[in-house]
Structure 1
Amino acid sequence: MRKKVMAIALSSVLLFLPQMASGEEESTEMAEETGAAILMEVDTGEVLYKKNEHEALPPASMTKIMTMLLIMEDIANDELSFDEMVTTSEKAASMGGSQIFLETGEEMSVRDMLKAIAIASGNDASVAMAEHISGSEETFVERMNERAEELGLEDTTFYNSNGLPADGHETSAHDLAVMARELLQYEEITSFTGVYDDYLRQGTDEEFWLVNTNRLLKFFDGMDGLKTGFTNESKYGLTATAKRDDMRLVTVVMGAETPKMRNADVSELLNYGFANYQVEPMFDQGAAVTSIPVEKGTQDSVVGRLDSNISLLHGKQESSENVTENIELKTLQAPIEKGEVIGKFQLQRGEDTLAESAIVAGETVESASWWQLFKRSTLRIIGVEPEPEDTVSDDDS
């Protein structure tokens, strides 16, 4: 495929505000009880507040956000299932700290292991899942670090899957927020992280009561995750998320002296976000935004669809201004695979990009045969527009 890019400017009247949070975050003092903090709107990724957000600190059990992300990615890719059984190794059973007291050789489903990690912060369950997925925890940790690199997380180095103290095992408030945002793409995760209490091994003599380490689930409106963390080294931390109306926020606080201080800072940050900002959904993932010519294909064009949702974030008290759509497209030559990136869609105000998404091919376009190309060319030479070829598309949406 040739890399030539053509820009198509489309004027469309949409709503957006002139000021984003970057100006306000410098003048607003919050999270005074914690060493590092960040507040992010999940849909747009906009940072609404930050404090020492790139300081590398021990995350304790907030490490498990990455562990859960890799589990959910494998489930989404059909490499793992919720009903799959996991056998506990001697190493997994020996983990200290928060645990569900797995026995060596005990079997438990992926669903229950994930429940143990999300609700009870089970260190033993984290290691059992790491070994089940990658063969060893060490190999799984390599994958954790590779995924962190893919996400552009420059403050993060993992040495285990559960967050128990280890020299050099660290991350930042910023990196945890990015991990959390990625995890929240899998909507089913909040059916685990948002549960306050549940049971494992129900109906047996070893029935185990799980109580979520995130007590704010009971008291903060809209909260449904994500993960607490505590060691003597890290002190108290929490990566929290809450959703109200169309807006989901994630906030991270690290280094609080007490759970009360941690919870107070989390509540303050989330209340600030919900009180001052709102999200306006603009386009859904999969929306058709353009039709792109295709050279030498079984059809002359392909529908371009958005690869992600497009939303705009603005302050509740701010005026709105017009924005424009901008589409950049590659010159396409068959074959084109469904889902292949073929361009970029942006919402802009002036030279500022407010939101963007990749444009992907909505269907597969095969290469035309020699005979199809010859017939098409001959008809055009004699002034007859060729009729559309009979093609089969796997996209009816």
Structure 2
Amino acid sequence: MMIRIARRKRSGIFGFFVLAVVIACVSKFFSAPEGKNDDTAPGYAKSLADELYSPHAILVRLKDQAVLLRKNSEEKIFPASLTKMMTAIVAIENLTDLEEEIQLTHYTFDGLYSANASLAGFEAGEMVKAIDLLYGVLLSSGAEACIALADHIAGSEQNFAVMMNQKAADLGMDNTRFENSTGLHDENHYTTVEDLAILLTYALQSDTFREIFTTPRHATQPTNKHPGGITLHSTMFEKLDSRNISGGEILGGKTGYTNEAGLCLASLAKVGGQEYILITAGAKGDNHPGQYNIRDAMVVYNRLGESISK
């Protein structure tokens, strides 16, 4: 895809020469073709795609939606906990008061322990403010926070999934279907990294979503079960050795993992003064050692920073 770079007024022949060199270099090093055949990505993008542990990837510049790298971006994947980005934005758009208290019940936890679902640390019978549940969804990847919000907003998780699918349709996520709010594996619960890029691009326009997505840790407000509150940690920032990358920093992200989905990551970075999102999915390994989804993000963003600096 041709990268669109805004023209700026320059004085003198040298200024035009510099601009031409910048456009040529960035286009050469980070470009991806139109169409569905991601395997034909030329030059640097194709070489970098081959280096990734993740079999599915897409890199997008937020400013103009230029796609800089693709790798099997339209193939079906299981999103695991990247699902929770949709859970969060649908909840944000349907909650009337983020300070409203929502009660978690014993039914909230039905099936979550047996499924080995990730939990934020809330308890049955706990009254938790909606905003803290949202932090539990995106930071700690808490399945109980997802279910509590879904039940409160739609009456059931099944009804909430209908709302998620309607939002996906509204956004043009044509290759996506949600069966639940948590991302627990279901053969009929699937998407593509391209569709997830559409979702994250949209969700980041919400100030509330962006604030949570870019927060490393959050202390919840006191509740009847936790008088001192609890501290929620971002599953991505916990795995990062450093937020710093060449020419910028990683601003936020959401991890995902199931046996069927592999290691997944949706991330936001600022490089060379511009914001970029990267979605990767399907990397081998488990959720403890060998965080190849994190490694892939660092490689892509660092190469991007190096190409811009050149």
TM-score by length of 1: 0.61
State the Cα distance separating 1:81 from its structure 2 match.
2.1
- Between the aligned partners of 2:169 and 2:142, the Cα distance in structure 1 is 26
Instruction: Say which of 249, 261, 266 aligns to 2:297.
Output: 266
How does 1:182-193 map onto structure 2 within 5 Å? 182-193=202-213
Residue type of the alignment partner of 1:91? Y
Residue type of the alignment partner of 1:274? G
Q: Is the 8 A contact 2:146 2:182 kept in 1?
A: yes
Q: Is the 8 A contact 1:93 1:101 kept in 2?
A: no
- Between the aligned partners of 2:92 and 2:123, the Cα distance in structure 1 is 25
Q: What SS class does the counterpart of residue 227 from structure 1 fall into?
A: strand
- Between the aligned partners of 1:116 and 1:179, the Cα distance in structure 2 is 19
Gaps of 5+ in 1: 1-12, 278-315, 318-397
How does 1:1-397 map onto structure 2 within 5 Å? 20=27, 21-22=31-32, 25-27=41-43, 28=45, 29-31=47-49, 32-74=52-94, 79-94=95-110, 95-96=112-113, 97-200=117-220, 202=222, 204=226, 207-215=229-237, 219-221=242-244, 222-244=249-271, 246-258=273-285, 259-277=290-308
Q: Is the 8 A contact 2:271 2:301 kept in 1?
A: no
Q: What SS class does the counterpart of residue 139 from structure 2 fall into?
A: helix
Q: 1:274 to 1:178 in 2, by over 3 A?
A: farther
Q: Is the 8 A contact 1:61 1:162 kept in 2?
A: yes
Name the residue aligned to 2:36: none
- Between the aligned partners of 1:224 and 1:130, the Cα distance in structure 2 is 27
State the Cα distance separating 1:159 from its structure 2 match.
0.3
Q: How big is each residue's C-alpha offset from its partner over 1:171-216, in whole Å with a ceiling of 9 and x where there is no partner?
A: 1111111111111111332332222233346584675342221035
Q: Is the 8 A contact 2:82 2:265 kept in 1?
A: yes
Name the residue aligned to 2:14: none
Q: 1:183 to 1:263 in 2, by over 3 A?
A: same
Q: How big is each residue's C-alpha offset from its partner over 1:342-366, in whole Å with a ceiling of 9 and x where there is no partner?
A: xxxxxxxxxxxxxxxxxxxxxxxxx
State the Cα distance separating 1:52 from its structure 2 match.
0.2
State the Cα distance separating 1:64 from its structure 2 match.
0.4
State the Cα distance separating 1:151 from its structure 2 match.
1.2
Q: What SS class does the counterpart of residue 22 from structure 1 fall into?
A: coil
Moved more, 93-102 or 229-238: 93-102
- Between the aligned partners of 2:293 and 2:174, the Cα distance in structure 1 is 25
Residue type of the alignment partner of 2:69? Y
State the Cα distance separating 1:102 from its structure 2 match.
3.2
Name the residue aligned to 1:391: none
More helix by share: 2
Query: Alignment length, in residue pairs?
Result: 264
- Between the aligned partners of 1:244 and 1:73, the Cα distance in structure 2 is 29
Q: Is the 8 A contact 2:203 2:210 kept in 1?
A: no
Q: 1:208 to 1:126 in 2, by over 3 A?
A: same
Please tell me whether Structure 1 or Structure 2 has the larger radius of gyration of its CA atoms: 1
Residue type of the alignment partner of 1:240? S
State the Cα distance separating 1:271 from its structure 2 match.
2.2
Moved more, 199-208 or 149-158: 199-208
Q: How big is each residue's C-alpha offset from its partner over 1:211-263, in whole Å with a ceiling of 9 and x where there is no partner?
A: 22103555122222221000111111100111245411100111111343211
Name the residue aligned to 1:299: none
Residue type of the alignment partner of 1:263? I
- Between the aligned partners of 1:26 and 1:88, the Cα distance in structure 2 is 51
Aligned-pair identity (%):
27
- Between the aligned partners of 1:231 and 1:178, the Cα distance in structure 2 is 22
- Between the aligned partners of 2:219 and 2:303, the Cα distance in structure 1 is 35
Q: What SS class does the counterpart of residue 112 from structure 1 fall into?
A: helix
